[in-house]
């Protein structure tokens, strides 16, 4: 259980074990995980509305592969969480594991993508180096006659950032 205060229109409590400032995806996620871990008396303060900040602008692309292994692990955890958040909270998140394609039209770009694939495998992220025909089968509207190849990450996906922020703050909150 955690309490959300938006617009500061509600009297604030005089005491809280944890006060989180900012109701974007990060603040709501921190509050959600604290509540899941059994922390009570958690307060989240938002000056506007939940997800009204940078989160509102996000396209919602969820790419697992990051520059560092730790952040890659974090995003992999996020994709697993997004898949179960709707069942947990009753609110849709728009999560769809549609995968992602990165394409190469030059030899240099292809070399870069192969390096990307090697890093992905080292981090434990499912990743395939594929040819233009396979890429075209995955996304048929794409022109492929000028491609040398592509990298396919089947675990990537997309979500609705606003819904994703509301879901963890939903039934467990007082607004």
Ligand X SMILES: Cc1cc2nc3c(=O)[nH]c(=O)nc-3n(C[C@H](O)[C@H](O)[C@H](O)COP(=O)(O)OP(=O)(O)OC[C@H]3O[C@@H](n4cnc5c(N)ncnc54)[C@H](O)[C@@H]3O)c2cc1C
Interface residues toward ligand X, by CB under 6 A: 21-27, 45-48, 52-55, 57-61
CA distances from 171 to 2, 57, 88 (A): 10, 24, 10
Q: What are phi and psi of 131, to 5 degrees?
A: -90, 175
Nearer Cβ to ligand X, position 51 or 136?
A: 51
Neighbour-count burial of 84, counting CB atoms closer than 10 A to its CB (0-12 exposed, 13-18 middle, 19+ buried): exposed
Residue 117 contacts residue 151 (beta carbons within 8 Å) = yes
Cβ closest to ligand X, residue 149 vs residue 161: 161
Cβ(27)–Cβ(20) below 8 Å: yes
CB closer to ligand X out of 97 and 144: 97
Indicate the residue whose CB is closest to ligand X: 24
- Minimum distance from CB of 96 to ligand X (Å)? 13
134-170 burial, b at 16+ Cβ within 10 Å, e below that, comes to: ebbeeeeeeebeebbbbbbbebbbbbbbbbbbbbbbb
To the nearest whole angstrom, how small is the minimum distance from the Cβ of residue 173 to ligand X? 15
Alpha-carbon distance of 131 to 19, in angstroms, equals 51
Q: Is the Cβ of residue 60 or residue 154 nearer to ligand X in the bound state?
A: 60
Nearest approach in angstroms of CB 28 to ligand X is 7
Q: Please, what is the minimum distance in Å from the beta carbon of residue 84 to ligand X?
A: 19
Give the whole-angstrom CA distance, residue 43 versus residue 13: 8
Rounded least distance, CB 161 to ligand X, Å: 6
With respect to ligand X, which residue has the nearer C-beta, 26 or 101?
A: 26
């Amino acid at each position: 259980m955690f309490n959300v205060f938006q617009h500061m229109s509600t009297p604030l409590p005089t005491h809280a074990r944890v006060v989180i400032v900012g109701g974007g995806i990060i603040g709501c996620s921190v509050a959600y995980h604290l509540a899941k871990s059994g922390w009570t008396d958690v307060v989240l303060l938002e000056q506007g509305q939940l997800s009204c900040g940078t989160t509102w602008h996000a396209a919602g692309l969820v790419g697992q592969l990051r520059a560092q292994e730790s952040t890659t692990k974090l995003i992999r955890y996020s994709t697993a969480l997004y898949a179960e958040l709707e069942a947990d909270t009753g609110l849709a998140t728009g999560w769809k594991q549609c995968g992602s394609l990165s394409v190469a039209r030059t030899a240099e770009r292809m070399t870069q993508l192969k390096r990307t694939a090697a890093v992905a495998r080292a981090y434990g992220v499912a990743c395939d180096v594929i040819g233009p025909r396979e890429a075209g089968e995955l996304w048929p509207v794409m022109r492929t006659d000028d491609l040398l190849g592509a990298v396919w990450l089947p675990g990537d996906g997309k979500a609705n950032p606003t819904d994703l922020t509301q879901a963890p703050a939903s039934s467990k909150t007082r607004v």
